[in-house]
Amino acid sequence: MREMPFAKITVIGVGLIGGSFAKGLKEAGLAQTVFGFGHNESNLKKAVALGIVDAYSTDIETAVQDSDLILLSVPLGVMKSLLLQMKPYLKEGVIITDAGSAKGSVIAAVESVFGTVPANFVPGHPIAGKERSGVEAAEASLFIDHRVILTPLETTSIEAIQQVTQLWQVLGANVESMSAQQHDEIFAATSHLPHLLAFSLVDMLNEHQELGNVFPYTAGGFRDFTRIASSDAIMWRDISIENSTAIVKWLKQYQSKITALTEMVENRDSEALQQLFVNAKQARDKHIK
């Protein structure tokens, strides 16, 4: 197994997740050099000034050459083109991992570029974040007591899995593994669906023709539920496209639930409404602390 600290770790996409990963690596001494890559040079300069990365480049060859490990923390929609740019300059044996929210599409992009999924590619997804995005929001403690899901293939190197696992664990994360298909189904239902519902509700009520500006009158419930509608629009556009099959499945299931709820309210079915609310409360109280 490769000894730590790594000589060079490259973070591609120095925003909230990539920046927090980089900052955590630096503070834990897990790399001699933490290198950042992106197209926004002012953002990268800020990352150096904030102590998030040691150095940066807007040139992909400079960024990935001689790197021992690369984290791809970019929108899903640019994953394939980025891999194509990186491919000629990768050091033999480099470990590549990612932070994408839909694993099937990432694996498909990797397979398309390399012809097969390299043994040292470890698909991953840190389950952490904030409404604020960008390098200014990065913090080394972001992953503490949060899950990181790895979705390795049967052909993925055990050593590469162990190395990626160890990095996340040092950053305080709880690392689990599952198949890409299971991951995409679970997060379509528990993350992607709620985000789409929040975006849709806020969009529906924005400057509503009948109600006008309702937002000054919103209380805690509305604000808690729609908080995630402040998330990055490009990221969620890409997630919706790249995990569309699973998301559509759960949108349709929720749609049928809304239809049933509409009928309960319309029919003033107090017993059915109370039972639904009791069931939901008991489930949440039991499973979410």
CATH number at residue 103: 3.40.50.720
Give the domain range for residue 267.
182-287
Domain co-membership, 217 together with 167: no
Handedness of CA 173, 176, 180, 186 (dihedral sign): negative
Residue 1 lies in a domain: no
Domain co-membership, 39 together with 129: yes
Domain co-membership, 153 together with 221: no
User: Global pTM?
Assistant: 0.91
Domain co-membership, 218 together with 164: no
pLDDT digits (tens, 9 = 90+) for 53-62: 999 999 999 9
Domain co-membership, 186 together with 174: no
Asked if 93 and 159 count as a contact pair (C-beta separation under 8 A), the reply is no
Report how far residue 53's alpha carbon sits from residue 34's, in angstroms, rounded to the nearest whole number: 5
The distance in angstroms from the start CA to the end CA of the chain is: 38
What's the confidence (pLDDT) of residue 130?
66
Residue 144 lies in a domain: yes
CATH number at residue 224: 1.10.3660.10
pLDDT digits (tens, 9 = 90+) for 218-232: 999 999 999 999 888
Q: How many domains does the chain have?
A: 2
Domain co-membership, 259 together with 209: yes
Which of 155, 178, 201 finishes a domain?
Answer: 178
Asked if 17 and 128 count as a contact pair (C-beta separation under 8 A), the reply is yes
Domain co-membership, 145 together with 277: no
User: CA neighbours within 13 Å on the CB side: how many for 23?
Assistant: 23
According to DSSP, residue 208 is labeled B
Residue 115 lies in a domain: yes
Report how far residue 95's alpha carbon sits from residue 67's, in angstroms, rounded to the nearest whole number: 9
Share the mean pLDDT of the chain. Answer: 95
Which of 161, 178, 195 finishes a domain?
Answer: 178
Domain co-membership, 148 together with 71: yes
pLDDT digits (tens, 9 = 90+) for 52-91: 999 999 999 999 999 999 999 999 999 999 999 999 999 9
Domain co-membership, 10 together with 91: yes
What's the confidence (pLDDT) of residue 181?
97
